[in-house]
Amino acid sequence: PGAGNIVVRDLNLGLRPDGSVSVNAVDVCGIEGLDPRELKIAKRQTEREAPRLLNFLRARVPGFADARVGSFAPEVYVRETRHFAGLERLTTQDILAGRIPADSIGLASYPIDLHPVDPSDEPAFATRRHMYGIPFGALIPSGFTNMLLAGPAICASHVASGSARTIPTTIEEGEADGVASVLARASGLNFIEFAAQPRRLMMLSRLALRDNEIATGGVAVRTDHS
């Protein structure tokens, strides 16, 4: 790498229909992902790193001898910034133990996939999958009664987020947020009050996990309340 805060990890290559290849391999550490100015700096750094990576591909990877840079992504991908503090926190142990709590609104199983936060960190990818539940409480930010979360910002540890951050999990969280909004409104409750009522949580969980069961081909799911 041409800069001390850049890490080039294992190659993540994607073949496109037109024969071009997308390359996801460069991590820029130490960037404030919520600062547009720093994101511009990160983009410039990745573009300066591209020729070095291209030279490696030409020399070492079959089929890339005549490769050239076609284009760059319009912006850098921000993998992780901040997580809300929530009523519940998804932890690494929850994932490794395969916990499906009573208020689960969806299932996840993507392996824990961590990129370096510091250049000295080793990339970590746990190939084993663990099916676990996303607790509704992790979608409720502390101090708010009228807001729900979905995606990388949910209340989760850094390591747990390496699994829970993916798009399929975000989609099911968003769907559950919609169902919870309808149920809470019909009951005249805010989300904190709704989360405190086990019977209503059970209804939310069963509705959400029913969709998960369809998506997973009818796999039976056992939660703490079943």
Which is nearest to 6 in space by CA: 156, 95, 118, 164?
Answer: 118
Please report, rounded to a whole number, the percentage of residues in the chain having pLDDT higher than 90. 77
User: What is the structure's pLDDT at 216?
Assistant: 46
Q: pLDDT-based confidence at 37, cuts 50/70/90? A: very high
User: What is the structure's pLDDT at 121?
Assistant: 85
| 22-31, 50-59, 117-126: segment of lowest average pLDDT | 117-126
Residue 81 · residue 34 · CB < 8 Å? yes
Tens of pLDDT, residue by residue over 169-225, are 999 999 999 999 999 999 999 999 999 999 999 999 988 887 655 444 444 455 554
More confident: 209 or 165:
165
- Residue 110 CB-density burial (10 A; 0-12 exposed, 13-18 middle, 19+ buried): middle
Answer yes or no: is pLDDT of 115 > 90: no
Tokens read off for 116 = 């370096």
User: What is the structure's pLDDT at 149?
Assistant: 98
Tens of pLDDT, residue by residue over 75-97, are 999 989 999 999 999 999 999 99
Q: Residue 171 phi/psi, 5° resolution?
A: -60, -45
More confident: 118 or 191:
191
User: What is the structure's pLDDT at 183?
Assistant: 95
User: What is the structure's pLDDT at 214?
Assistant: 43
Domain ranges of the chain: 6-60, 92-215
Helices 167-187 and 198-215 cross at an angle (nearest 10°) of: 140
User: What is the structure's pLDDT at 212?
Assistant: 57
More confident: 1 or 108:
108
Mean pLDDT of the chain: 90
Tens of pLDDT, residue by residue over 124-150, are 777 789 999 999 999 999 999 999 999
